Amino acid sequence: MPRPALRIAAALVLLALSAGAQARTVYRCVRDGTVSLATAPEPGSRCTPKQIDDNAVKLPNLWGEMGVINGNLYERQQDGKTVYSTRKLPGSVRVMGFTVETPPGEPAHPGLGKVGKPQLDKFPAQFRSAAKANGLDDAWLRAIAHAESGFDAKAVSNKGAQGVMQLMPDTAKEYGVADPFSSAESINAGARHIKSLMRRYHNDLTLVAAAYNAGIGTVARFGGVPPYRETQEYIAKVQALHQRYQLAMGTRKPELRAAQ
């Protein structure tokens, strides 16, 4: 690989650039809930340019995930130019494989809602529509929202999560949210994010809740539910609420207890 390509590979893969130019533009591209890094906007993806300072002491984590990430760097021709990407697109040729360990993270916000009675009067049409559009259990979607914000459309956590579904700004941007405090936008984006997590974790609701709270990278780093008390309590809260919403909505029958 020529030296310029090596520098590009470092920028995309290692996020540690060799000396030279003062800054480079790397595109963070999102498609179907997955992130790739590229030297030019990828067709079919939603891409955001990021300026990388060669002289920065600490370079940003553009992946948006924490933990170890394995992948490949690909080269292809686009608009008469050679471009590089970590996503395999038509016409791509694999240049190299890579393993990146992104900086360690922290568990996400604990959520602002408390376990309590189901609140079926909160945005019923929006939850019903978002759940149906994404093939989700309406009771599960409501349980997440209840645990996250208590259905407060203006809620903001101490870590910056916003709205009914308490989406972090980067996640909201990935799903095209223009107003994080719009209940409709937040619920729709939250449902799409949960659908992506359901697909990733093969419908394992425990891992879905863990990733919603602590992030996909953190779940990957620990090989399952992270050992954070906050996350474990969050999962228990969501599971309890899920059952209550199922009972309230008539999709779950009450458990019969044997007479003493």
* Structural domains present in the chain: 3-101 (no CATH), 124-248 (1.10.530.10)
Q: Edge-to-edge, what's the strand order for the sheet holding 34-38? A: 46-53, 23-31, 34-38, 81-85, 68-78, 93-101
Per-residue pLDDT of the chain (260 residues), as tens digits, is 434 334 444 445 444 333 344 557 888 888 876 778 888 999 988 888 887 765 554 556 666 554 556 778 888 999 998 888 889 999 999 988 776 655 555 555 566 777 789 999 999 999 999 999 999 999 999 999 999 999 999 999 888 899 999 999 989 999 999 999 999 999 999 999 999 999 999 999 999 999 999 889 888 888 888 888 788 889 989 999 999 999 999 887 665 444 44
Q: How far apart are CA 74 and CA 142, in angstroms?
A: 41
Q: Which residues pair with 117 in a beta bridge?
A: none
Cβ contact 52:37 at 8 Å = no
Could you tell me the CA-to-CA distances from 33 to 81, 102, 119, 176, 195 in Å, in that order? Answer: 27, 18, 30, 12, 9
**Residues designated catalytic:** 148
